[in-house]
Structure 1
Amino acid sequence: MAKKYFILFLLLFVSRLFSQNFDINTLRSINVNRNADLDATFKHVTNSYAIVSVGIPLTLYTVGLIDNNTGLRQKALFVGESVAASVFITIALKETIKRDRPATSYPEIEKLTSSGGYSMPSGHTSIAFATATSLSMAYPKWYVIAPSFVWASAVGYSRMHLGVHYPTDVIAGALVGSGSAYLTYKINKWLNKKRSKEQL
C-alpha cells in the first residue's frame, strides 16, 4: 500500500514539476514539427507494445514447459504479472486523474493513431516499461537491459510523435511501468519467503 501511494506521489510531483506550458510546447515541437516520413515507423513502434509484452512471457513460459524448466516459467510469470500490475495501476490512475488527450484541448496537435480513455499516464508506455524492467530484473545482462529500455523509450516517444500523449503522460507511464515491475518483484519475494517458512 505504501508503494502505491509513493508512486502516486511521484506522478503528482512530476505533474506539478513540469507546467502545462512545458508539456504542450514540448509536444508541439515533437508532433507539429515532426518528420512525417517517420509516421508509419512510429505507428509500428507504438503497436509493438502488445506483441512484445504478451509475446515475451508467453514464449518464455512455452519454452519452460517444453524444457521442463521451472526457473524459466517463474521468470515468464514475473514478466506477465508485472505487465498485469501496470495495466491495473494505469487504469486506476487514468480514472482518478481524468486528463483529456492533447488534441481535445489543442487542435494544432495532429492525432495520428486511435486512442481511448484519458491521457495520464500513458498505458502503452507503462506496459512497455513494465516489460523492459521485469525482463531486465529477470535477466540482468547488458544485452537484455539496453535493447529493452531503448524499445520501451521508443514506444514512449512514439506516443508523443503520434499526438496522443503529453510528455508528462509518458514520464508517468515509465514510472508506473517500472514501479509495477519492482512492486511485483518485492511481492513475489515476500510470498516465496512466506512459503519457505511454512514448509519448515
Structure 2
Amino acid sequence: MKRIFAITFLTCASLSGLAQGWDLKKLEDINLGRNTDMDKPLNFLSNSTDYLAVGFPVGMLAVGFAKDDASLKQEGFQMATTTVMTYGLGYVLKKVIDKERPYVTHPHIQNYKEFSGGSFPSGSTALAFATGTSLSLSYPKWYVILPSTLYACTVGYSRLHLGAHYPSDVFAGAALGIGTAFASRKLNQWVRNEGKKKKLKQQMHE
C-alpha cells in the first residue's frame, strides 16, 4: 500500500516537472485549434466523472444488498474505496502542489469557464481512470475495458480542450486514478484475507 502510494506520488511529482515549453505547446495545439462546438459536450463529459465515480459503487452496493450477492457487494465496496482514495489523494496533491491553472499563468489559453482548485493533478481525469480501471479489473471483458478506456481518455482530452489543465496534469491524473484502483483492490484483498484468518483462528479455538 505504502509502495503504491509512493510510486503514484513520485510519478505525479515527476510529471509536474516536465519541460514547460513542451507542456504549454501541446496545450496550445489542442486548446487554441479546437472546435468550439465541442466545448459544451466535452464539458458535460468532464462533469459526468463525479456522478459515475459515486453512482457505480452506490448502484452496485444497492443491488448487491438487495439480492444478497456477495460478489457484487465486494466489487461495490472495492469501487467505493477507489473513489474515496482518488478524491482524497487528489485533494491533498492539489493543496500541496498548488499549481495555477494554465489560463491564469498564460492568459492566451482559452478556458471554457473558471475552474476551481489547483491544476495539478487533473481530478476529473483521475476519477475517470479510477472508475474505468476499477470496472475493468472487476469485469475483465473487452466490452467493459474498451469503452471504459475510451471514456477515460476522452475525459483527459477534454481537460486540455477546455483549457483547464496542462498535459502533465492530465497524465498525473491518469496515473493517480489507475494507481488508486489497483491499491484499492490490494487493500480489499488484504482485508478479506485478514478476516478469513481471524475466522479460522476462532473456529480452531472453539
Distance in 1, Cα, partners of 2:7 & 2:63: 36
CA contact (8 A) 1:43 1:113 kept: no
Distance in 2, Cα, partners of 1:164 & 1:129: 17
Deviating above 4 A after TM superposition, structure 1's stretches of 4 or more consecutive aligned residues are none
Q: CA deviation at 1:83?
A: 1.0
Q: Does residue 15 in structure 1 map to residue 16 in structure 2?
A: yes
Aligned positions of 1:43-82 closer than 5 A = 43-82=43-82
Q: Supply the AA of the counterpart residue of 1:107.
A: P
Equivalent residues, number: 199
After superposition, the C-alpha distances for 1:6-56 in whole angstroms (9 at most, x for unaligned) are 11111222233x310111111111111111111112111111112221221
Aligned positions of 1:25-44 closer than 5 A = 25-44=25-44
Distance in 2, Cα, partners of 1:114 & 1:84: 25
Q: Supply the AA of the counterpart residue of 1:97.
A: I
Q: CA deviation at 1:114?
A: 3.5
Q: CA deviation at 1:2?
A: 2.4
After superposition, the C-alpha distances for 1:129-165 in whole angstroms (9 at most, x for unaligned) are 1111111111111111110111111111111111010
Name the larger-Rg structure: 2
Instruction: Name the SS for the 2:137 alignment partner.
Output: helix
| Uncovered stretches (5+) of structure 2, i.e. residues with no partner | 201-206
Distance in 2, Cα, partners of 1:51 & 1:195: 31
- What is the match of residue 182 of structure 1? 182
Aligned positions of 1:125-140 closer than 5 A = 125-140=125-140
CA contact (8 A) 1:31 1:162 kept: yes
Q: CA deviation at 1:167?
A: 0.4
Distance in 2, Cα, partners of 1:64 & 1:191: 19
Q: Supply the AA of the counterpart residue of 2:80.
A: G
- What is the match of residue 7 of structure 2? 6
CA contact (8 A) 2:16 2:120 kept: no
Q: Using the aligned pairs only, state the percent identity.
A: 37
Q: Considering only aligned residues, what root-mean-square deviation do their CA atoms show, in Å?
A: 1.2
